[in-house]
A and B are shown apart, each in its own frame.
Chain A
Amino acid sequence: MTDERAALAALLRSADAASALARAIRDLAEGLGTVRLMEVCGTHTVAIRRSGLPSLLPESIELLSGPGCPVCVTPDEDIDRAIAMAGLDGVCLCTFGDMLRVPGSSGSLERARASGADVRVVYSPLDAVALARRSPERQVIFAGVGFETTAPTVAAAVRSAAGLTNFSVLAAHKLVPPALEALVAREDFSVHGFLMPGHVSTIIGSDAYSPVARQHGVPCVVAGFEPGDILLAIWMLLRQMRDGRAEVEVEYRSAVRPEGNLRALELMGSVYEPVDSTWRGLGAIPASGLGLRASQAAFDARLRHPVEVAPSKGRPGCRCGEVLVGALRPDGCALFGRSCTPATPIGPCMVSSEGSCAAYYRYSR
């Protein structure tokens, strides 16, 4: 393969590009004082920490992780609901692997499985539909967690399940732009620029962040996932700051259009509608989640398999909520690295491999 994509991908992974970008970033940073940049994507969190990228940056640039890890921002009540459904007679609960170990207010799906519940990890929501087709005696529930990247795949699975009476979805999806707008409106918000999530943006399009840039004056750059992508995006953010601009720019141009994937958005909109949703760390945000439309009631696990879930009491000492909004660095939490480690996690940010506490523990201590 000799086209521009391959040439770009190779260059973005090269040490030459990384050192040239680090130099360009240092040049720009000199006149800017302290710069706090936030990434809002668990895959970016891992890419940044694993590559040791912060060590290439001047000390005046601080990289923070925002609410970009879907399982981390999912509140206890939603995890508890999935666990309760998994315990119902005749139910098989399917989910992505990331969800398995995430703690609810007591226990996790992994523990429920160890106690005999039928909990299965699937690669695609279509696998859950296929399982429902093969197992008419089971009620298959897919736990629909994730951002806009994932929601259209679940919507497509619901559409493909037409006629099945033993498949339903526990919708717990979250929408990124409303959460960012809630974040920038907070009094303690002190971030100078956002690295926006590359794959969420392939679906929703870069225009979705216009309110954050235009109304709130925060520069935004949609970034790809190679270390060079992230460095180039940081350089683009600093260039906006130097020029006194606050716009949405796209570094990950091969995959992200201003309007997004219209087909995926249309399908998502035909199955789901925006609903008020609670985020760990940010609280309740209007129209920041997705629920199944009334026309899809036959596939709505909340209606088909109602369960009672008690309000969560929280976890004493766990400060994931503050970590998720960039108000606290993972190592600022008293539990970090002591009672809370990837082997014995207490909060969701340490459980998920994409959580900022887990990434920080593995790569940045």
Chain B
Amino acid sequence: MCLAIPMRVIEKQGEIGKVEQGGVVREVSFALMPDVACGDHVLVHAGFAIERLEAAEAAETLALLRELMAAGEQEAGGD
């Protein structure tokens, strides 16, 4: 029930606007996330944008994941 889909904001007029993902366009309410702009990526749940997805924070998880993968490769190479 708590499913939320990442989508890109393509239109915003006050609290109402449109988001897009893979060619699918949906109307959404920005009542819970008023400070987003066109081009931002948001999570959409039950017709509402509930959070903005932040690239900088994604980069930190990405770095951790790459570190773990590199460590695994080293270990595999040394076996």
Contact = CB atoms under 8 A, between A and B. Distances in A.
Partners in one complex: yes
Nearest to B68: A24
Contact of B55 (A232, A252, A254): A254
A146 B48 CA distance: 15
B5 to A, nearest CB: 10
B53 A255 contact: yes
A12 B55 CA distance: 15
A152 B68 contact: no
A41 B3 CA distance: 10
Given A149-B4, A232-B68, A254-B54, 20 more contacts: A3-B55, A4-B55, A4-B59, A8-B65, A16-B69, A23-B76, A42-B2, A43-B1, A98-B1, A124-B46, A124-B48, A149-B50, A153-B45, A153-B48, A156-B31, A200-B2, A203-B50, A255-B53, A261-B50, A263-B32
Interface centre among B33, B41, B57 (most CB of A within 10 A): B57
Interface of B: 1-4, 6, 29, 31-34, 41, 43, 45-48, 50-51, 53-62, 64-66, 68-69, 71-73, 75-76
Q: Which 9 A-B pairs have the closest CB atoms?
A: A124-B47, A253-B57, A20-B72, A254-B58, A4-B59, A202-B51, A149-B2, A20-B69, A264-B32
A256 B32 CA distance: 15
Interface in A6-36: 7-9, 11-12, 16-17, 19-21, 23-24, 27
A255 B65 contact: no
A361 interface: no
B71 A152 contact: no
Interface string A251-270: 11111100001011001000
7 contacts: A4-B62, A5-B6, A23-B76, A69-B1, A71-B1, A124-B47, A147-B1
A146 B50 contact: no
A255 to B, nearest CB: 5
Interface in A160-193: 160
Nearest to A7: B62
Nearest to B47: A124
A209 B34 CA distance: 26
Interface residues of A, number: 58
A5 B50 contact: no
B68 A150 contact: no
A81 interface: no
A202 B3 CA distance: 12
A42 B1 CA distance: 7
